[in-house]
Structure 1
Amino acid sequence: MFENFDLSKMSAMLEEAQKQAQKMQEDASNKEFTAKSGGGMVSVSMNGNGELIDITLDDSLLSDKESLQILLISAINDVSKMVEDNKKLATTQMLSSIGGFGAKS
């Protein structure tokens, strides 16, 4: 079953994967994603690691707690999806570059 299996190649592939993963994490922390809701009344920004880095609220929402909550939830969900989609894309690209494990673009 493993007669043609070369451990040295597997070790090199794993080392390359580790380097790529570290670079991917560094790149992610430098990316910023922003989503808006309520026609721009709420704006939420996250970095590529999924850390919330900024929230901007229109002053008119401060007296309407229910609307503020709804718009904030919407913007946070949207920006979280952007970050997750970016992570999936980066992972697929990384895997395809180190050994063909991911889908080819």
Structure 2
Amino acid sequence: MFDKFDLGELGKVFEEIQEKAKKLQEESEKKTFTAKSGGGLVQVSANGKGEIIDIEIDDSLLEDKESLQILLISAINDVLKMVEEDKQKSAMNLMNPSIFGSN
């Protein structure tokens, strides 16, 4: 069963996967994701690392602390979900059969 098992070839495949993973991570980190809540009253942006990089709050919410908190939580959760979905999509792309060649 393993008589044609080539460790050198396996090493090449792993190197290709590592290179592709590094490239996908670099591309993902450059992305910006933005989520809005309250019809756009609150807008939160995050980078591909999941770091919040910008928050915009409509002035009308500055007198309503409770609504502001709710809308901030909602927008932050939404943007972090976007980042996570992008990471999962990138991981699935890593498993693209084309990197293993065709036999």
Q: Which stretches in structure 1 are left out of the alignment for 5+ residues?
A: 101-105
Q: Which has the higher contact order (CA 8 A, sep 6+)?
A: 2
Count of matched residue pairs: 100
1:36-81 per-residue CA deviation (whole Å, 9 max, x = no partner) reads 0001000000111111110000111111111111000100111111
2:10, 2:62 → 1: CA distance?
A: 57
- Residue 54 of structure 1: aligned partner: 54
Percent of residue pairs identical: 60
- CA distance in structure 2 between the partners assigned to 1:82 and 1:9 by the alignment: 36
What RMSD, in angstroms, separates the aligned Cα atoms of the two structures?
A: 1.5
The code of the aligned residue for 1:99 comes to F
- Equivalent in the alignment of 1:15: 15
Secondary structure of the residue aligned to 2:40 is coil
Aligned equivalents of 2:16 and 2:32: distance in 1? 26
> Which AA in structure 2 matches 1:74?
S
TM-score, normalising length from structure 1?
Answer: 0.87
**SS of equivalent residue, structure 1 residue 3:** coil
For residues 28 and 87 of structure 1, the distance between their equivalents in structure 2, rounded to whole angstroms, comes to: 8
Q: Distance in 2 between matches of 1:99 and 1:23?
A: 17
